[in-house]
Amino acid sequence: MKNRLTRIVLPLLVAVALPACLSPLTAVYFVDMAPKSGAENYHLDPATEAVVFSKEGLQIKVRYLSDEQLRAEIPGPQNPYVQQEIDVRRGYRPTVFTVFQVWVVNPTFAKVRLDPGKTELVIDQGKSLSSYAIDRADALGNWRNFETYFLSRGVQNGNQQRLYLERMGKVRETVYHREAPVFKGKNYNGKIIFEALPPETVGVELVVHDFILSFGIHNEPTERITLRFPFTVSQGVRDHMAERR
Which DSSP string corresponds to 45-113? ETTTTEEEEEETTEEEEEEEE-HHHHHHHS-STT-SSS--S-BTTTTBPPP-EEEEEEEEEESSSSEEB
Task: Give pTM, 2 decimals.
Answer: 0.86
pLDDT of residue 3: 53
Domains of the chain and any CATH numbers? 26-133+176-244 (2.60.40)
Q: Which of residues 40 and 245 earns the better pLDDT score?
A: 40
The per-residue pLDDT for range 205-242, each reduced to its tens digit, is 999 999 999 999 999 999 999 999 999 999 999 876 55
> Do 76 and 128 contact (CB within 8 A), yes or no?
no
Q: Residue 183: exposed, middle, or buried by beta-carbon count in 10 A (0-12, 13-18, 19+)? A: exposed
The per-residue pLDDT for range 77-99, each reduced to its tens digit, is 999 999 988 888 878 889 999 99
Least confident of 96-105, 140-149, 173-182: 140-149
